[in-house]
Amino acid sequence: MLKLGILGNGTVGSGVVELVRKNAEYIKRRSGTEVVISKILVKDMDKHINNHNEEIITNNIQDVYSEDVDIVVEAMGGLHPAYEYIKSFLQQKKHVVTANKDVVAKYGRELAVLAEENNVSLRFEASVAGGIPILKPLQECLAGNDIKYLMAILNGTTNFILSKMYNESMKYEEALKIAQQLGFAEANPDSDVLGYDSARKLAILSSISYDEKVDWEDIGVQGITEIDDIDILCAKELNCTIKLLATSIKKEDGIYASVRPVLVPIYGYFGKIESEFNGILLEGDAVGQMFFCGKGAGKLPTASAVLGDIFDVIENKKQRSMLIGNKKAILKSKLSEKAKWLLRIKCQNTEEILSRVKESFKACESFENKDWLQNEAAMVVEAVNEEYIDGVVKELKLLPGVEHIKKLIKVDNI
Amino acid sequence: MLKLGILGNGTVGSGVVELVRKNAEYIKRRSGTEVVISKILVKDMDKHINNHNEEIITNNIQDVYSEDVDIVVEAMGGLHPAYEYIKSFLQQKKHVVTANKDVVAKYGRELAVLAEENNVSLRFEASVAGGIPILKPLQECLAGNDIKYLMAILNGTTNFILSKMYNESMKYEEALKIAQQLGFAEANPDSDVLGYDSARKLAILSSISYDEKVDWEDIGVQGITEIDDIDILCAKELNCTIKLLATSIKKEDGIYASVRPVLVPIYGYFGKIESEFNGILLEGDAVGQMFFCGKGAGKLPTASAVLGDIFDVIENKKQRSMLIGNKKAILKSKLSEKAKWLLRIKCQNTEEILSRVKESFKACESFENKDWLQNEAAMVVEAVNEEYIDGVVKELKLLPGVEHIKKLIKVDNI
């Protein structure tokens, strides 16, 4: 018999309990072992008083320690005390499976080393892209590849909001409110809407892909809070939609890594990824381009990934610990490639400004005669690199009449 | 030191040699072992006389046996002698990695049992969908799911031909010829164009997904040889394209499994999967819908999958042998669900026939006033199940004036 301890009984924790019980017979048949849930750690006992699991629920971590479980599933979320608990269980030579991207992005390397030292597993497939198998495929199936780049939609909350803004012409605040009412967004949505959640997941993905330590705090991050209805209308004119894309590109002199809203073609890989779906596009030198998509959040999709990890631990599939890469990555957040950009310039003298912009870029297509553009020039320009366009923007900002300038990257071939 | 024996030096075999050598340093760093290619079995020594690998090339299988290799990569293709060689190496307690779907589809279970008995690994990720990690994600990451269905483009040759027919208005014979000239199709293309290759891969995928033994010979197969320009024009009118889809659906009373040309929306999952790309859509009860796409064939994509398997063997990741499922699946090839169909009826009396068709189906939309429809009625009908439409077709065939009837399924929500 194999004993599981579940830390947290929210969306993920309760999903794991449900899925493990549903699959009890299959797990036994497959692994020859009965797997039972021995303890569930909760914050507030009162909330679970009429719960089926009454006998195994506790709000005291000591009860889980003393239960002598074999595998711990950490599904509490947040940095503390999740980090301390994971650390302590690894030191007690317990395998740990976690869905916690905050902890993995911040303490992943330290904990992976600790697991290695204690000869136990630390697994975290569910921490990135929910139910989509991506860490194991990257780490194992694609191990013979140099990964050239990753581009991904990794956050369901922002994707839900952007879908609402695009499909139903909602304003950002309105869409956010609905997301909060439906439980897709937290009361304090900053971690999602400012792009930090995506940056944490991108750091985990990139560290595994490039075998270097990518710190999420070093990633250039721009959220979706500034996206407005004019951006959406411009996107529609261009047969594009706007998605919060997490991108990393391996370069000779470092890794370009950013999270930012991007204009993407409606009929490409990302255009149709809606709401809670995530999508990951990558290129390996041997395998070429590859795309994965599926549910990136939710009770059972996340539990599916956790259960996959539990199977690995039960079947004793030892793996080279991920995130052990010691070399700290040099990160760049300015794109050094030629790219197209949507440029919006709030000003009274639109004609004059537009002709100034045209002097600076070889290619420049402006939106003409749009009644939704008031005191504003909007155009798509092509710049040799991001530094160049930033330089132009800086100069333009100094011109009389210019009130505000905004730029959004447009990527065509995805 | 770990010794590899490579059987076959064609596209796949030479790709594996190239990729293993390119990654030599990384493999050593990751696994702590130097991996060398000790023997390469070829058919014709003369062809390889100026080859860099001259010293390790042989056309005698005994040389590979006596080399005492640790892992054998079978990349010969075809049933014989590949099957006999694999069997013999497993009996000698050598791990085997193969890219051979013919052997896996036919002898997979027997060989998996043999590997199990000899306590060695038999791996075959590359046998389905080339570089796309799919067997391991299904078998391990998604192990907690009941897989409800699989729909996939699994054959690059037919996909190339259909892309040419759709994008460049080529006729089937013309597109096939180009595929042959470019090396995408064999001189005898039957295995690809008649759908057998897809059926073999679908059998492997389905056996793993449903844990039952799915025999590829029992799968209902319809190839692309009958697809003509009128089908393509009808598809375009419907905002669809035509793809050879391999589909299996788990049902209470068995598994529906078929390979056939399907009208799919141009902007859905499969519409944009072109040429050598493969795509796999599946649904698990926990994880929901999920889609994988990438290169399904070619030298390095296939080698990428083989190398992933080699890493597993080196790192001694024992896994419950796939395909061990003993229960033989009951297969059905007639769709029992309501579906839309494109119906084309060659006849002189189109008006008369059309009104007869309209009596038989509640929903029927015919193509009107198309100058490319000569002596032919074409329409999209909705039928409660395939048996029903087949019954109607049978009756229609008896009507005076009707020369030929053709039906193609149209699937909207993918």
3-state secondary structure chain A: CEEEEEECCCHHHHHHHHHHHHCHHHHHHHHCCCEEEEEEECCCHHHHCCCCCHHHEECCHHHHHHCCCCEEEECCCCCCCHHHHHHHHHHCCCEEEECCHHHHHHHHHHHHHHHHHCCCCEECHHHCCCCCCCHHHHHHHCCCCCEEEEEEECCHHHHHHHHHHHHCCCCHHHHHHHHHHCCCCCCCCHHHHCCHHHHHHHHHHHHHHHCCECCHHHCEECCCCCCCHHHHHHHHHCCEEEEEEEEEEEECCEEEEEEEEEEEECCCCCCCCCCCEEEEEEEECCCEEEEEEEECCCHHHHHHHHHHHHHHHHCCCCCCCCCCCCCECCEECCCCCCEEEEEEEEECCHHHHHHHHHHHCCCEEECCCCCCCCCEEEEEEEECCHHHHHHHHHHHHCCCCEEEEEEEEECCCC
pLDDT in tens, A124-148: 999 999 999 999 999 999 999 999 9
B41/A232 Cα distance (integer angstroms): 59
Please state the length of chain A: 414
Q: How far is CA B135 from CA A315, A330, B125, B138, B139, in A?
A: 17, 35, 6, 5, 6
What are the residues facing A247 on neighbouring strands?
A151, A258
CB hemisphere CA count around B198 (13 angstroms): 36
Q: What is the pLDDT of residue B6?
A: 98
pLDDT in tens, A25-58: 988 988 888 999 999 999 988 887 666 778 899 9
Active site residues of A: 201
pLDDT in tens, B179-191: 999 888 888 999 9
Q: What is the pLDDT of residue A53?
A: 78
For residue A144, the chain B residues in CB contact (below 8 A) are 19-20, 23, 303-304, 307-308, 311
Q: What is the pLDDT of residue A368?
A: 87
Q: What is the pLDDT of residue B317?
A: 67
Banded pLDDT at A19 (limits 50, 70, 90): very high
Q: Which of B31, B142, B301 sits opposite A288 (nearest CB)?
A: B301
Q: What is the pLDDT of residue A351?
A: 92
Q: What is the pLDDT of residue B59?
A: 95
| Coil/strand/helix, residue B401 | coil
> Do A143 and A286 contact (CB within 8 A), yes or no?
no
Residue of A nearest to B27 (CA): A144
Q: Which of B19, B286, B298 sits opposite A300 (nearest CB)?
A: B286
| Coil/strand/helix, residue B354 | helix
For residue A317, the chain B residues in CB contact (below 8 A) are 140, 317-319
Return the minimum-mean-pLDDT range out of A349-363, A398-412, B46-60: B46-60
State whether B295 and A293 contact (CB < 8 Å): no
B123/B86 Cα distance (integer angstroms): 11
State whether A140 and B136 contact (CB < 8 Å): yes
Q: What is the pLDDT of residue A29?
A: 86
For residue A23, the chain B residues in CB contact (below 8 A) are 144
What mean pLDDT do residues A272-279 have? 94
Banded pLDDT at B319 (limits 50, 70, 90): low
Percent of chain B with pLDDT over 70: 97
| Nearest-neighbour CA in chain B from A89: distance (Å) | 24
Count CB neighbours of B94 within 10 A.
22
Q: Which of A291, A310, A319 sits opposite B294 (nearest CB)?
A: A291
Return the minimum-mean-pLDDT range out of B48-52, B216-220, B373-377: B48-52
| Coil/strand/helix, residue B72 | strand
> Do A303 and B286 contact (CB within 8 A), yes or no?
yes
B280/B200 Cα distance (integer angstroms): 15
Q: What is the pLDDT of residue A47?
A: 80
Q: What is the pLDDT of residue A185?
A: 85
| Nearest-neighbour CA in chain A from B107: distance (Å) | 22
> Do A347 and A401 contact (CB within 8 A), yes or no?
yes
For residue B19, the chain A residues in CB contact (below 8 A) are 144, 286
pLDDT in tens, A153-194: 999 999 999 999 999 999 999 999 999 998 888 889 999 999
Q: What is the pLDDT of residue B31?
A: 82
Q: Is the pLDDT of residue B323 over 70?
A: no
Q: What is the pLDDT of residue B324?
A: 64
- One DSSP character per residue, B202-268 reads HHHHHHHHHTSB--GGGSEE--STT--HHHHHHHHHTTEEEEEEEEEEEETTEEEEEEEEEEEETTS
Hey, of B274, B290, B316, B413, which one would you mutate to test binding to chain A, going by the most A CBs within 10 A of its CB?
Answer: B290
> Do B95 and B26 contact (CB within 8 A), yes or no?
no
State whether A272 and B272 contact (CB < 8 Å): no
State whether A319 and B317 contact (CB < 8 Å): yes
What are the residues facing B97 on neighbouring strands?
B73, B123
What single letter denotes the amino acid at residue B284?
G
| Nearest-neighbour CA in chain A from B311: distance (Å) | 7
Banded pLDDT at B128 (limits 50, 70, 90): very high
For residue A307, the chain B residues in CB contact (below 8 A) are 143-144, 286
State whether B286 and A272 contact (CB < 8 Å): no
| Parallel, antiparallel or unpaired: strands B376-383 and B35-41 | unpaired
H or E element at residue B307: helix B299-314
For residue A30, the chain B residues in CB contact (below 8 A) are 143, 320
| Nearest-neighbour CA in chain B from A248: distance (Å) | 19
pLDDT in tens, B147-175: 999 999 999 999 999 999 999 999 999 99
For residue B287, the chain A residues in CB contact (below 8 A) are 131, 294-295, 300-301, 304-305
Q: Is the pLDDT of residue B293 over 90?
A: yes
For residue B156, the chain A residues in CB contact (below 8 A) are none
B128/B154 Cα distance (integer angstroms): 7
For residue A142, the chain B residues in CB contact (below 8 A) are 133, 304, 308
Return the minimum-mean-pLDDT range out of A278-292, B36-50, B377-391: B36-50
What single letter denotes the amino acid at residue A285?
D
State whether B286 and A307 contact (CB < 8 Å): yes
Q: What is the pLDDT of residue B395?
A: 95
B273 phi/psi in degrees, rounded to 5? -80, 105
Q: How far is CA A127 from CA A203, A319, A405, in A?
A: 11, 17, 36
Q: How many CB pairs under 8 A join A and B?
A: 156
State whether B312 and A140 contact (CB < 8 Å): yes
What mean pLDDT do residues B110-120 have? 93
Burial class (CB in 10 A: 0-12, 13-18, 19+), A325: middle
Hey, of B97, B127, B287, which one would you mutate to test binding to chain A, going by the most A CBs within 10 A of its CB?
Answer: B287
Q: What is the pLDDT of residue B45?
A: 86
Active site residues of B: 201
A129/B291 Cα distance (integer angstroms): 13
Of B213 and B261, the structure prediction assigns the larger pLDDT to B261
| Nearest-neighbour CA in chain A from B345: distance (Å) | 34
Q: Which of A290, A304, A320 sits opposite B293 (nearest CB)?
A: A290
Banded pLDDT at B133 (limits 50, 70, 90): very high
Q: Which of A19, A284, A316 sits opposite B144 (nearest CB)?
A: A19
For residue B141, the chain A residues in CB contact (below 8 A) are 125, 133, 136-137, 304-305, 308
pLDDT in tens, A311-370: 999 887 666 566 667 788 899 989 999 999 999 999 999 999 999 999 999 899 999 889
Looking up tokens 């791990």, which residue turns up? B95
Q: How high does pLDDT run on average in chain B? A: 93
Looking up tokens 């089908």, which residue turns up? B231
pLDDT in tens, B78-100: 999 999 999 999 999 999 999 99
| Nearest-neighbour CA in chain A from B193: distance (Å) | 25
Hey, of B282, B304, B314, which one would you mutate to test binding to chain A, going by the most A CBs within 10 A of its CB?
Answer: B304
Q: Which of A288, A305, A320 sits opposite B315 (nearest CB)?
A: A320
Burial class (CB in 10 A: 0-12, 13-18, 19+), B352: middle
Q: Which of A133, A267, A288 sits opposite B137 (nearest CB)?
A: A133
Banded pLDDT at B321 (limits 50, 70, 90): low
Hey, of A73, A136, A142, which one would you mutate to test binding to chain B, going by the most B CBs within 10 A of its CB?
Answer: A142
Hey, of A16, A25, A287, which one would you mutate to test binding to chain B, going by the most B CBs within 10 A of its CB?
Answer: A287
Q: How far is CA A380 from CA A340, A406, B255, in A?
A: 7, 12, 52
Count CB neighbours of B278 within 10 A.
27
Q: Which of B143, B290, B300 sits opposite A286 (nearest CB)?
A: B300
Q: How far is CA A320 from CA A70, B87, B89, in A?
A: 20, 30, 28
